[in-house]
Chain A
Amino acid sequence: MPVLLEPTHHWVCPNCPAESVTREARPHSQFHTCPGLKGLSAPMVEAGVRVEVRPVERDDYVGSEKVQTDAEGRPWMAVVTKRNDGEDRAVLAPSATIAARS
């Protein structure tokens, strides 16, 4: 009888000591709050893969937008993962807001 094994994925971060393990057959990614990127939500990468993970500055001014910032309050637009064979991008979406005032 065949035995189906769930593949194990070992994740690391090139910018901090974080490590993680997932058991999932479908393609997936793993994110964490990265102290190396001053608290930004950033992708982890599979152990053994050489990549660069870096934040991308926001192009537009912030204005009244509820943007995502690092621990120093600096707004960022995205986090890019540069691989030898391509690039992934995780955009840090602002929150839309509506306020009722009396």
Chain B
Amino acid sequence: MAWSASKVFMALIEDALENTDAKNLLTDTHKAALYDNDITPDNTVATANTVFNAGQWTSAGNEVFDAAEWATGGVALTGVTSAFASTTYTFDAANTSSGASATLAAVFGCLVYDDTVADRGICYNYFGGSNSVTDGTFTVIWHTNGIFTATG
């Protein structure tokens, strides 16, 4: 198995509705960590396995990083927005970039997680194939629809 889609963790919804933790998507610090294709992301796992460096998101052998350029544990999101309009809720941020001298190989997707609340996963985004950069800048351009959306 491998990456196949971009998904929101169902545990995020349950934890929010049951007030399991004091997560605040607008004000918490969030990070995007990069991963290779050795993992099989699953949005139906329990909260404990949505966490960075747990379950499929174990860093060793799976995470792609380059010291200070795109550090292990990911790069913090900036310009985060959290709002709804009509029947669509959107979580979004400014594009996320590495330093100017990053070397990253075979990046297939990223885990977006809450760095403030126990590194709990929010969603994962599949880039659609293998992406690498050598001694350059790696940028994630988030979709104009947002990092994730919920529609009702």
Contacts and interface: CB of A to CB of B under 8 A. Distances in A.
Instruction: Answer whether A and B are interacting partners.
Output: yes
Interface of A: 27, 29, 31, 41, 43, 58-60, 62-68, 75, 77-79, 81, 83, 85-100
- B128, B138, B145, B152, most chain A CB atoms within 10 A: B128
Interface of B: 4-8, 13, 95, 97, 99-100, 107, 110, 123-152
A94 B125 contact: yes
Closest 10 CB pairs of A and B: A59-B129, A95-B143, A96-B148, A96-B123, A58-B128, A96-B6, A90-B139, A88-B136, A95-B145, A98-B8
Contacts, number: 134
A95 B5 contact: no
Task: Tell me the dominant secondary structure on chain B's binding face.
Answer: strand
A88 B133 contact: yes
B137 A88 contact: yes
A31 B134 contact: no
Contacts of A63: 4-5
A99 B148 CA distance: 11
Contacts of A81: 136
